[in-house]
Amino acid sequence: METNELKFDSKKVWDEALEILKKKIASSTFQPWITPLEPVKEGEEQYKKDKFVLKSNQAFGVAHLNQKFLPQIQEAIDEIIPSGLPVEIVFVPTDVKKAPKKKKHSDEKISLMQEQIENLKQMQSFCALNLKYTFENFVKGENSKVAYDAAKLVSKAPGQKFNPLFITGSVGLGKTHLMQAIGHEILKNFPKLKIKYAKTEEFTNQLVDSCRKGNDSYSEMKKFRDQYRNIDVLLLDDIQFAEGKKRTEEEIFNTFDALFHAGKQIIFASDRPVESFEKTPDRLKSRYEWGLSVEIKQPDLNTRIEIIKHHAIRSNYPIEDDVAKFLAENYSKNIRELEGAYNKVSAYASIQGMDLTLKNAKEILGYRENKKKITTDVIIKACAKYYDTTPELIKSTQRTGDIKLARQVAIYLSRELLDLSFPSIAEAFNKNHTTILYSYEKLKKDIQLDKKLSDDITEIKNIIKD
Q: Is the pLDDT of residue 111 over 80?
A: no
* 97 domain-assigned: no
Q: What are phi and psi of 50, to 5 degrees?
A: -100, 15
Residues 269 and 355 in one domain: no
Least confident of 29-43, 89-103, 162-176, 431-445: 89-103
Higher pLDDT, 155 or 301: 155
pLDDT band at 370 (very low <50, low <70, confident <90, very high): very low
What is the domain-level CATH number for residue 77?
3.30.300.180
- For the residues of 337-377, what is the DSSP string, one character each? HHHHHHHHHHHHHHHHT----HHHHHHHTT--TTPPPP-HH
Residues 338 and 441 in one domain: no
* 149 domain-assigned: yes
Least confident of 62-66, 181-185, 250-254, 314-318: 62-66
Residue 466: other Cβ atoms inside 10 A:
7
pLDDT band at 372 (very low <50, low <70, confident <90, very high): low
CA distances from 142 to 98, 280, 296 (A): 40, 31, 9
**Global pTM?**
0.60
Residue range of the domain that includes 420: 376-465
Q: Is the dihedral of CA 72, 76, 79, 85 positive or negative?
A: negative
The whole-angstrom separation of Cα 173 and Cα 450 is 19
From the number of C-beta atoms within 10 Å of its C-beta (0-12, 13-18, 19+), residue 437 rates as: middle
pLDDT reported for residue 99: 39
- DSSP 3-state assignment of 31? helix
CA distances from 333 to 170, 287, 417, 441 (A): 10, 31, 9, 17
* 139 domain-assigned: no
Q: Is the pLDDT of residue 365 over 60?
A: yes
Domains of the chain: total: 4
* 262 domain-assigned: yes
**CB 195 within 8 Å of CB 127:** yes
pLDDT reported for residue 3: 42
Q: Given 276, 295, 314, which residue is the final one in a domain?
A: 295
- For the residues of 143-188, what is the DSSP string, one character each? TTHHHHHHHHHHHHSTTTSSSSEEEE-STTSSHHHHHHHHHHHHHH
Alpha carbon 279 to chain centroid, angstroms: 31
Residues 159 and 286 in one domain: yes
* 125 domain-assigned: no
Q: Is the pLDDT of residue 40 over 80?
A: yes
Residues 290 and 323 in one domain: no
pLDDT band at 124 (very low <50, low <70, confident <90, very high): low
